[in-house]
Amino acid sequence: MLVGYSSSEEEEGDSEAAAAPNRSRSRKCQEEDDGCPERKKAKTEERVPKTSRLPLPGSLVAMFPDEEDSLTEDSSVHGGRVRSFRHERGNWATYTYLPYHPEEEFGELLEELLSVARARGVVLTLQEEFHLSLSQTVVLRHHWIQPFTRSLRAGLLHCKRFVCTAGRLKVYCNAERTRTFLGMEVCTGHAQLLELVQAVDRTMTEFRLDTFYKDPSFHVSLAWSVGDVTEQMKECIQELQGVVDDHEEGALRLDCVELRCRTGNKTFLFPLQP
């Protein structure tokens, strides 16, 4: 009786065919098994896509609008005023000053001054608020604000309250020649103002910022005009001074009881000693 033997190739084919169902069942079991690492990974990726991001809270979005920088640099939004330095996020324009709160009668004087200047061809805009500057405008980084104000407070601990007066009109123009100011120069209290400036300058030096002018002309700015109109204003300054001298509330009295520091949209108060 003859016996037929299969070749080695046929044996391998039969073995693979027999193993195929087992592999299919094994693969199916692996896919159905929740403990399978590959399966768990697929589920995880399906639940949280790699490209998904949590949305920003509305409060944060409102804090940083897309058009903020363009608006802050648009001079038409600020009455034609031009920044002394470009606005950058994280930079805070900072200065120190003594506030002045005018009486109602002083407002009448200001309106008369603007009327006289207008008749001479000089258009002036009243200041939104009145103050006497004790520093230049400098730039603080946000993380400097707290140590800066802490240093200021320490330096002003022994500075006392006083009164100063102003009554002489004077024309000022900023360094960039982009704005001209009509101011009222201080005539009493100069020594006490210098003492405050020295305290402020010590903090400015500590943070490597510009100190105040060497020979400052302390004044309260009353009104301003765009551009350099110094010569036009000087031509009518005597007439404007006459209006001040003839007015009952012509002299400006400033009760210096509190120094303030404005940085960005924050204002810090430093009461002087009684």
User: Does 131 participate in catalysis according to the annotation?
Assistant: yes
Per DSSP, what are the bridge partners of residue 93? 139
Helix (H) or strand (E) holding 175: none
Q: Which one from 131, 142, 143, 158 is the annotated catalytic residue?
A: 131
b/e map of 27-63 (b: 16 or more CB within 10 Å)? eeeeeeeeeeeeeeeeeeeeeeeeeeeeeeeeeeeee
Tell me the three state secondary structure of residue 176. Answer: coil
Residue position matching structure tokens 């002003």: 156
Alpha-carbon span 39 to 274, nearest angstrom? 77
From the candidates 87, 142, 158, 219, give the one annotated as an active-site residue.
219
Residue 138, token pair as written in the block:
């400098």
Position 180: which residue type? T
Q: Does residue 78 carry a catalytic annotation?
A: no
Take residue 226 and report the two structure tokens written for it.
């765009």
Structure tokens at 267: 């204002």
Residue 122 phi, psi dihedral angles, 5° rounding:
-110, 115
Catalytically active residues are 131, 219
